[in-house]
Structure 1
Amino acid sequence: MLRLVLSIIGGVVSAFVIVVIGDMLSQTLAASAGPPPTDMNDRAAMQAFVAGLPTVVFIAMLATWTAAAFAGAAFAARFARRGVWPGWVAAGLFLCATAANLFLIPHPVWMAVAGVVLVVAAGWFGARTGSTGTPHAA
């Protein structure tokens, strides 16, 4: 049981490490749009800032979220050794964090839709990949 819990936690942590690294890249790409608002709670200022970001920033974020969901699910499934479902749990927790991000920070609609679809698909594939060769792979 401890291995299972630690595997899911490890999967989620690995996903967030990837996101932090990807966010650093995205911030570098976003520098051309100017500084972000000083008050991150000012929704109108955040919307204006996000609207001025180049599309490449959103693509980089989507790639990061996809890689993070895949890696987190694969890690959890591989080290839990209980089939795909630990990977799905890790990916589900990451999806919740992604949904919170999409809710709290205004994003283009296309990115919100793509983000959810890509995180779900990457989590599913990651769990399947991580569970390959384990006893309860489904």
Structure 2
Amino acid sequence: MQVARQILATVLGVIAGGFVTMLVEMLNVVLYRPPAEIENDLEALRRYSETLPIGAALILLAAWCVGCFVAGFVARVVAAQRAMLPGVIAIAIYFTMTCVMLFLIPHPLWLWIVTPLALLGSGLLALALSAPKSVMLVCDRLIAAPIESVFQVVSEPERFKAAVPDIQTIEFLSAQRQGVGTVFRETRLMHGKTAANDLEITEFVPNRMVRIVASAGGAVWDSVFSVSLEQQRTRLTLAMEARPQTLVARLLVPLMMVMVGPAVESDMDAVGKFVEQQGSAPEPTTT
């Protein structure tokens, strides 16, 4: 069902883009009425297109840009969960059709040069403006250990570092080292590169949940670890929400989440393995 909706979104985007293009191009008929003989004479149409008045050419360019924008915007808005792929495909189809038309019917040279760049810009703008306001990632693990032990690892930065091999260093930027108000810098290895981010614990309910917030890549990353008892084991759930703060971030955050996802899954696996290997008794809390 979801695949059918994505296909429908792509088709609707292309149709909407073509329809809007036609509407804008009608301005040329009103402002720059073409010679009557070009209606049934392809060669005459080519000669006319090569010598388009600058105003008519600009209207054409505007029509294509608006059409490309609408194609990508509609496709992504209609798509399930505002997925980016239908928008990208709709823009690619519109881009290809426009380039084919430019090839078949000669236009001024400057229009050949400007059009691909303008379409690319309008397409990217459409993808950014139609992106969801936030992107959510949820994963969980069932761990054979008491709630206290699991919560201690995810709520104390130093313990979390001990559990996750990819974290290289933890540097505290606040006087306190646990609970609300704790600020720390986490340096970790991601995809072979070192990345450092400042994080803050903004909510803390012992043996229940901890909220950790960071700002990176033009977005606010809001992560909530929660623990609950299930079948004499602990259910650890991580809900990570990324809220883009800029247009560029709205475009890039969904792509960033694709890279972050495997790292988060790996962290959850590491926490589960670490706690189970440490035994059932939680370590004393340090302040």
TM, length-normalised to structure 2: 0.44
Aligned runs of 1:74-113 on 2, under 5 Å? 74-80=73-79, 81-113=81-113
For residues 51 and 40 of structure 1, the distance between their equivalents in structure 2, rounded to whole angstroms, comes to 15
The residue aligned with 2:49 is: 50
Q: Residues of 1 paired with 2:134 and 2:60: CA distance?
A: 32
Q: Percent of counterpart pairs with the same letter?
A: 22
**Structural mapping, 1:53-72, within 5 Å:** 53-72=52-71
Q: Secondary structure at the match of 1:92?
A: helix
What CA distance in whole angstroms lies between the structure 2 residues aligned with 1:36 and 1:55? 21
Q: CA contact under 8 A between 2:82 and 2:132: conserved in structure 1?
A: no
1:41 aligned partner: 42
How far 1:63 moved relative to its partner? 0.8
2:75 partner letter? A
The answer (yes or no) to whether the contact 2:24–2:63 under 8 Å persists in 1 is yes
Query: How far off its partner does 1:108 sit?
Result: 0.7
Bigger Cα displacement from structure 2, 74-83 vs 91-100: 74-83
Higher helix share: 1
Match of 1:7 in 2: 9
Residue equivalent to 2:32 = 30
Structure 1 residue runs without a partner (length 5+): none
Is contact 2:12–2:74 with CA below 8 Å preserved after alignment? Answer: yes
Which whole-Å CA distance do the structure 2 matches of 1:122 and 1:27 have between them? 24
DSSP 3-state at the match of 2:107:
coil
RMSD of aligned C-alpha atoms?
Answer: 1.9
* Contact kept in structure 2, 1:23 and 1:61, CA below 8 Å: yes
Larger relative contact order (C-alpha < 8 A, sep ≥ 6)?
1
**Structure with a larger share of its residues in strand:** 2
Question: Are residues 9 and 17 of structure 1, via their aligned partners in 2, closer, same or farther at CA, if it must alter by over 3 Å?
Answer: same
Tell me if the contact between 1:46 and 1:106 (Cα under 8 Å) persists in the aligned partners.
Answer: no
8 Å contact 2:82–2:130 — kept in the other structure?
no
Gaps of 5+ in 2: 137-253, 256-287
Alignment CA distance shift 1:97-1:36 (3 Å): farther
Question: How many matched pairs?
Answer: 135
Q: Which moved more, 1:128-137 or 1:17-26?
A: 128-137
CA shift, 1:71, in A, is 1.2
| Partner Cα separation in structure 2 for residue 99 and residue 49 of structure 1 | 18
Provide the residue aligned with 2:21 in structure 1: 19
Tell me which structure has the larger Cα radius of gyration. Answer: 2
| Residues in 2 aligned to 1:23 and 1:36: alpha-carbon distance in whole angstroms | 19
Return the alpha-carbon distance in structure 1 between the equivalents of residues 110 and 135 of structure 2.
39
Question: Which piece of structure 1 moves more, 112-121 or 101-110?
Answer: 112-121
